[in-house]
Structure 1
Amino acid sequence: MTLRRPFDDSDELVLHRLFFALMPSAEAVEEIARVRGGLGVAKSHVLDHRLHMTLWALDLPMTPTPGIIDDLCAAAAKVSAPALRLVLREAVGNGQVACLKPGEPMPVLKAFQQKLQLAIADARIWPNRGFRFEPHVTLAYGMDEGFRREVLPISWRAEEFVLVHSLVGLTEHVPLGRWALGA
């Protein structure tokens, strides 16, 4: 099944994206929203309920099959890791996208992401060509200017990771699975 964008005279097709992510806590979402609110004009701000840190992503031209979803879920179930403390310390914009980044290396997060990516590769599923894990939380799209500035640290403990089906451009995220991270 292929979806077309509603209320649009374009024949552009909807892109389906499957991604694994860490979701910020409710308290972190409030802090992230304050930073986002200070960004100024953007074509589109990421809504609170869609804020996340992508760990792995795969774009598909059509609705994902149950088989690929089952395989991704089985791969995720094989990954065990401790809960993760995430800290975002800088706001960065490149003239197109604005995001929050850690501002310093996070080796435990990187090790977890690599473990997840290897489990998925064992299922013979690969991420988007050129996908490179760069920890960030996207805040807005369509910013007119670039910037980099420190922010008060925004921290949360990630106790689970999720698999999400996104209809890109339609701002719809459908959770497909959740896996706990150990204490």
Structure 2
Amino acid sequence: MPVQPQQKYADDHGKSNLFLALVPEREVALQAVETGREIARRYGLSKSPRPHERMHVSLNAIGTYPDFPDDIVFAVSAAMATVKAAPFEVNFDRAMSVTNARAVVLANAIRSEEMMDLHVQLAKEMWSVGLNFTYNPRFMPHMTVLYDDVPVPEHLLAEPVRWIAREFVLIRSVIGKSEYEYLDRWPLLD
């Protein structure tokens, strides 16, 4: 179940990276961090898990911009306000390293149809307002818990990491900093 790695370049430092994502509740994010610690201990990894505040499931990349793109944020916010989707369960029952990357991720062998439907709908809404969009027919949701050079074989977790997604968010990440800025949120309604 390969997941495509994202390339980071030195000349991207300081640029704004925008993306749409699901963010777990605090307790679930803390569980993901602890799961990352257990994986690191089990496989002798030298790196620590990402902070719980950065745990997320990327849905759609929007782009990388040299400055804060007010016009793009406004257009994305307007487009996402029209999205209609019900809450759904996110369930990651396994961990593995991503092919050709240093990421250790939580995933599920069975792709969530609800998450795939949301991924497609978000891409369509961005296209409808003239924005670039990402649509990947092989989209496999995952949550990166840590980065390490030692590969981790795919294995089942002792306890799955799961929650009910009730909203999706627009996140700004300044490349080279370890923080996210939540720019907007949209509820998933029944």
Shorter-normalised TM range? 0.7 to 0.9
The code of the aligned residue for 2:74 comes to D
Deviation of 1:83 (Å): 0.7
**Quick check: 2:111–2:141 contact (8 Å CA) kept in 1?**
no
Counterpart CA distance in 1 for 2:116 and 2:11 is 39
Aligned residue for 1:103? 109
Please name the residue that 2:6 is paired with: none
1:88 aligned partner: 92
Question: 2:83 matched to 1:76?
Answer: no
Aligned residues: CA RMSD: 2.2
Which residue is equivalent to 1:172?
A: 179
Q: Identify the residue that residue 189 of structure 2 maps to in structure 1.
A: 182
1:106 partner amino acid: S
* Corresponding residue of 2:31: 31
Residues 13 and 175, structure 2, Cα contact 8 Å, conserved in 1 = no
Q: What are the superposed Cα offsets for residues 70-118 of structure 1, whole Å, 9 maximum, x if unpaired?
A: 0000111010110111100110114611010022121111111111111
Give runs of aligned pairs for residues 121-140 of structure 1, distance below 5 A.
Answer: 121-127=127-133, 133-140=139-146
Q: Tell me what 1:4 maps to.
A: none
Residue pair 1:19, 1:58 contacting (<8 A) in 2 also: yes
Secondary structure at 1:146 match in 2: coil
Write the distance in 1 (CA, Å) between the matches of 2:11 and 2:189.
45
Please, what TM-score do these two structures have when normalized by structure 2? Answer: 0.82
- Distance in 1 between the 2:46 and 2:127 partners? 36
Q: In structure 2, do the counterparts of structure 1 residues 129 and 116 end up closer, same or farther at CA, with 3 Å as the change threshold?
A: closer
Query: Cα offset for 1:42?
Result: 4.3
Does the 8 A contact of 1:59 with 1:128 survive in 2?
A: no
Measured after TM superposition, the shift of residue 172 of structure 1 is 1.8
> What CA distance in whole angstroms lies between the structure 2 residues aligned with 1:60 and 1:48?
23
Q: 1:55 aligns with which of 55, 59, 70?
A: 59
* Cα separation, partners in 2 of 1:131 and 1:62, compared to 1, 3 Å: farther
Go from structure 1 to structure 2 and tell me whether the alpha carbon gap of 1:143 and 1:69 turns closer, same or farther (over 3 Å shift): same
Q: Secondary structure at the match of 1:18?
A: strand
AA at the equivalent of 1:135: P
For normalisation by structure 1, the TM-score amounts to 0.85
- 2:15 maps to 15
SS at match of 2:154: strand
| Aligned counterpart for 2:68 among listed residues 60, 64, 67 | 64
Identical aligned pairs, as a percentage? 24
Name the structure with the higher strand share. Answer: 1
Letter in 2 for 1:162: V
